[in-house]
Chain A
Amino acid sequence: MPERQLITGNEAAAEGAIAGGCRYFFGYPITPQNKIPEYMSAHLPEIGGVYIQAESEVAAINMLYGAAATGAWAMTSSSSPGISLMQEGLSYMIGAELPCVLVNMVRGGPGLGNIAPAQSDYWLATRGAGHGDGRCLTFAPFSVQEIYDLIGQAFPIAQRYRNPVMILADAVLASMREPCVLRERLDPPEEKPAWAVGGRRRGRQRNIVNSLWTDPPVMEEVNLRIQQRYEEAAQNETRWTEHGADAPEILVCAYGISARICQTAIEHAAEAGIACRLIRPISLFPFPTEVIADWAQRVKKVLVVELSMGQFIEDVRLAVEGACPVEFFGRTGGVLVTPEEVAERIIEIA
């Protein structure tokens, strides 16, 4: 068995990013993700990387814009209120077709809220990214190992689609410790992308990184290019897992920490004689619409479980398209649901 280390989700995010080739980090502290910048500040300089604690989240996202424009593999991390502050910068990065990775360890909100676990930034993550038609490619890990693995993959994905990639987790995943198998650290590619700014060396034409296109048809052209990449991402990056019964009565849909809770909940439900199947989207945008649509034809009901008042449920409903009733169970404001409570809800709707 490869050596396993007991690390937190925050440490997994930081080390996974370094192992995946990240060499630049810009951020501003906020609980519950402070271990990420702490880890980066200790370890990036050791390998010739750069860590900068910005004066605010607004500064951090714009530093990220600058670094990304030069072709650097760069990231930031924050928690809900900090991600709100970064929205303008994200929109500009999407408009300028720049790749980056950001981590959102979601906490209870709205407003300054609290430091407890929540999933109430689903819309912010999958619909947000500021103004305009852009979105973040969004992935939701559900274990420390998966945080480590996914963030490593997020850097090449961001480069491929020239778009910000968000890793969406929560305060439980951030602070929990689980065994994690670490890989060897990879270096980012030496060759910079063709679009990166870097002066007019060797007489080449200069590159311009910009999101200001005053001529509407030109701006539309940029938008169509971005949408084309989202379609490609839907083909290549749509990910989910399935657990549980092959002939279910109830289809349970949950992501991230809620999906972990549901894994145990559907076992409790099975003991009570109710067969459930759990679909856990790993990619939230692109969303695994087809698999949910397919199962919705074959079950009595769908139950959506999330730590919010009902955001993720909208994507599930769009996938189900009225094929069967979609029920909801969730808590918000930093309150967790337990497997026992989810099982009770399953029994109630069955």
Chain B
Amino acid sequence: MRQEVFMAGMGGQGVLLAGQLLAQAALEAGLELSWFPLYSPEVRGGRATCTLVIADGEVGSPVVGQPGSVILMDGIAVDNHLNRVRAGGLAVVNSSLAGDEIKRDDIDLVAIAATDVAVELGSEQATNMVLLGAYVQASGVVEAQAIEDALHRVLPERHHDYIPTNVAALQHGAQLAAEQLQ
């Protein structure tokens, strides 16, 4: 098993955190993995990406040209990266911030209005969790519960108040993905 997921969005959307949670969940599941971030120097509004490779043996290259799956959190990410997904792969995209032009016939495409869902749940910042929940549901790479557990490990103690909102967002995302893939 070797699964690659590339995540992209704007700085502040929690691209790196989503990747770290998935990485932590894979670690706890006893898998090998490599997570690496690339982002511009701006504190807010720059571009943020990370690449996560999960394997049950040697990870090999942490750098991936054509990933098997992607999570794209805004329109620029969709424009830049949707076409990179390998045929037969998976894309989870935030349709709240991307136009109607999200099209690929040769991959599983899960389009979720993640920002709208997150706002309804009380925090726009949970957008990344809605998308991550959808991704975990659609890919089956780790158990959903493992991401919830990872929140406790990865988030600093002072942010643990946000965990219930994040868990709700993960679950909503998972449910929406399950409905779309039926």
Query: Residues of A at under 8 Å CB distance from B?
Result: 1, 4, 6, 31, 115-116, 143, 172, 175-179, 257, 260-265, 267, 336-341
Contacts and interface: CB of A to CB of B under 8 A. Distances in A.
Given A115-B41, A116-B38, A176 B62 contact: yes
B23 interface: yes
A101 to B, nearest CB: 24
Contacts of A337: 63
Interface string B6-23: 000000000000001001
Contacts of B23: 6, 177
A114 B135 CA distance: 33
Given A175-B36, A176-B36, A261-B61, 15 more contacts: A1-B30, A4-B27, A6-B23, A116-B38, A172-B36, A177-B23, A177-B34, A177-B36, A178-B34, A260-B61, A265-B61, A338-B64, A339-B64, A339-B65, A340-B65
Nearest to B60: A264
Interface of B: 20, 23-24, 27, 30, 32-38, 41, 58-66
A172 B37 CA distance: 8
Contacts of A265: 61
B63 to A, nearest CB: 5
A261 B58 CA distance: 12
A177 B35 CA distance: 5
A176 B51 CA distance: 9
B32 A179 contact: yes
25 contacts: A4-B27, A6-B23, A143-B34, A172-B63, A175-B36, A176-B35, A176-B37, A176-B62, A177-B36, A178-B59, A257-B62, A260-B60, A260-B61, A261-B61, A261-B63, A264-B61, A265-B61, A267-B60, A336-B63, A338-B61, A338-B63, A338-B64, A338-B65, A339-B60, A340-B65
Please give me the 10 A-B residue pairs with the lowest Cβ-Cβ distance, nearest first: A338-B65, A176-B36, A264-B61, A340-B65, A264-B60, A261-B61, A263-B60, A177-B35, A339-B61, A6-B27
Contacts of B24: 6
Contacts of A264: 60-61
Contacts of A339: 60-61, 63-65
Contacts of A116: 38
A264 B24 CA distance: 23
Contacts of A341: 65
Nearest to B27: A6
A143 B20 CA distance: 17
Contacts of A6: 23-24, 27, 33, 35
Contacts of A261: 61, 63
Nearest to A6: B27
A56 B27 CA distance: 39
Nearest to A265: B61
Contacts of A31: 41
A280 to B, nearest CB: 12
Nearest to A338: B65
A19 to B, nearest CB: 20
A4 B62 CA distance: 18
A11 to B, nearest CB: 13
Nearest to A175: B37
Q: Which of B60, B63, B66 is packed against the most chain A CB atoms within 10 Å?
A: B63
Nearest to B58: A263
Nearest to B51: A176
A140 to B, nearest CB: 16
B34 A176 contact: yes
Contacts of B41: 31, 115
Contacts of A263: 58, 60-61
B136 to A, nearest CB: 18
A260 B66 contact: no
Contact of B62 (A260, A262, A267): A260
A178 B35 CA distance: 7
Contacts of B59: 178
Contacts of B33: 6, 178-179
A340 B66 contact: yes
Contacts of B65: 338-341
A104 to B, nearest CB: 18
B125 to A, nearest CB: 22
A177 B58 contact: no
B61 A179 contact: no
A213 B86 CA distance: 63
Contacts of A340: 65-66
A186 B38 CA distance: 34
Nearest to A115: B41
Contacts of A178: 33-35, 59
Q: Which of A178, A260, A265, A340 is packed against the most chain B CB atoms within 10 Å?
A: A178
Contacts of A175: 36-37
